C-alpha cells in the first residue's frame, strides 16, 4: 500500500466519522448508545496501549533514559 493510498483511506474514514457525528443528534437512542460503546472501546484500547508502552519503556530505561544495568543479560558458563 503506497503512502498516498493510506492517506486517502484515512481521509475517507475521517469523513465517515464526521458525517456520523453530524447525524448523531437526530439518531435513535440505540444508535447513540452503540456509537458511544464503540468510542469507549477505541479509547480504552488507546489508553491501555499507552500504559503498556510507558511501563515497558520505564522498566527498560528507567527515569534517566539509560538502560538499567540490572536487566543486562548474563551468560551462563558451563560447569567445569
- The residues spanned by each domain of the chain are 28-60
Yes or no: say if 20 and 35 are a contact pair by the CB < 8 Å rule: yes
pLDDT in tens, the chain (80 residues): 788 899 999 999 989 988 988 888 888 999 889 989 998 999 999 999 998 888 776 666 555 555 555 555 667 777 76
List all residues 6 or more positions away from 68 whose beta carbon is below 8 Å from its beta carbon.
59, 60, 61, 62
pTM for the predicted model, two decimal places: 0.54
Yes or no: say if 71 and 60 are a contact pair by the CB < 8 Å rule: yes
Amino acid at each position: 500500500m503506497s503512502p498516498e493510498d493510506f492517506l486517502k483511506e484515512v481521509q475517507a474514514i475521517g469523513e465517515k466519522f464526521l458525517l456520523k457525528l453530524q447525524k448523531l443528534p437526530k439518531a435513535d437512542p440505540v444508535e447513540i448508545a452503540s456509537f458511544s460503546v464503540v468510542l469507549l472501546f477505541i479509547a480504552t484500547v488507546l489508553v491501555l496501549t499507552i500504559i503498556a508502552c510507558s511501563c515497558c519503556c520505564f522498566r527498560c530505561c528507567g527515569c534517566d533514559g539509560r538502560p538499567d544495568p540490572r536487566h543486562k543479560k548474563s551468560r551462563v558458563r558451563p560447569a567445569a
